[in-house]
Amino acid sequence: MIDLLLASTSPRRRDLLAAAGLRFELCEPGPEYVQGGDHDHGERGEPRELARQRARRKALGAPGSHRAPVLGVDTVVDLDGIELGKPRDREQAEEMLRALAGRRHLVHTAHCLRAPDGDLVGEQLATSTVSCRAPTQAELERYLDSGQWRGKAGGYGIQDDAQAFLTLVDGAFDTVVGLHVDAVRALLANWSSRESS
């Protein structure tokens, strides 16, 4: 018996669900981007809405299952209304971190739950504020050398042990990591109440 199917390839999302005691299995997510878009080139639009659209595509486009609802999740780093995607290389990661240095930015994580019959159960958006102090050159080089930035929106993971220049200012820590557990619990409660009615 499982609580949900996670339509994600992110090890961080798996870890957050497991730590929360939720029972899940993995499934292939639906397409994250519309044709021609990717994390290097991005998509045009407001960052919150981009996160919502991608979470919806991941959930609704995942393979069907009659065993459990399907969860799609997407995280977007928002610097003054502009999305910072996943860096393609070290140079781009450094550019992103220098853009964030000495400033605050938002991180939006959107969640979409699809019922086994394909219907939309609901959506939840969580937003947190992160402060990035200007790292020294040595701190920046150490983090870039670690490779921990790879595959992460904005070129960083707030949980990474190779950095000490990013701080949560407002909102939930797990939202910045990539999945807000309370949002998932709320969606599962909606699913439960719908099934029991």
Cα distance between residue 78 and residue 153, in whole Å: 10
Query: Residue 100 pLDDT > 90, yes or no?
Result: yes
Is the predicted pLDDT of residue 41 greater than 50, yes or no?
Answer: no
Q: Over 60: is that where the pLDDT of 39 sits?
A: no
pLDDT number for residue 37 = 52
What are the residue numbers of the active site?
Answer: 74
Show the domains of the chain with their CATH numbers: 4-196 (3.90.950.10)
CB 49 within 8 A of CB 26: no
pTM: 0.93
Helices 90-100 and 137-146, axial angle in degrees (round to 10): 140
